[in-house]
Amino acid sequence: MMKQISEASPDPRARITGIVYLTYFLTAIFAQLFIGRVVVYDAVNLIAYACYSVLTILFYYMFKPVNRILSLFAAFFSLGGCVVGVLGLFHTDPYDINPLVFFGPYCLLIGWLIFRSAFLPRILGVLMLFAGIGWLAFLSPLAKYLSTFIEIVGIVAEASLMLWLIVKGVNVQRWKEQAATTHKYIR
């Protein structure tokens, strides 16, 4: 199954990744409507975290040709953030860690991978780098002064990437060239 995923054409996978990203966005926004209704809020957030976990795996395969180690490292950060987020929903996180500790570095790594890729526009990478810095800034005392700005930057960056993947996908020829180069060095 995983071999089939890694050998599939990147363009349909890129569009599917964008659709999963959109599903996550819509689910996360929908969850905000249920703040105060604990059971529904938690259930919708569980679905959002499940979508983000799938998105993480899809991004791992998308960016594996750019740098397999960084793509894997990014995936671990994201999945760690999802685990911490789910534990937080049920108040079982023993350390009370903010998931942004994981999602900030994740966005930084994804931004770098996009920037270094040959198959997506570099501006998307720059935007994701800014989003990562912003999510990490939420962990500082500056967050109360910059929260609206940080959220706007993060949403614009992630929504731009999501929409690009849905509408344009990736440059398939460049993705295949980068994947062929990577496979040549791995063997």
Q: What is the pLDDT of residues 127-136, one digit of tens each?
A: 999 999 999 9
Q: What is the pLDDT of residues 20-33, one digit of tens each?
A: 999 999 999 898 88
Q: What is the pLDDT of residues 139-155, one digit of tens each?
A: 888 888 888 888 899 99
Q: What is the pLDDT of residues 3-18, one digit of tens each?
A: 544 455 577 899 999 9
Instruction: Indicate the domain borders of the chain.
Output: 9-172
Q: Phi first, then psi: what are they for 35, rounded to 5°? A: -60, 130
Q: How far is CA 21 from CA 25, 42, 55, 90, 128, in A?
A: 6, 19, 6, 24, 14
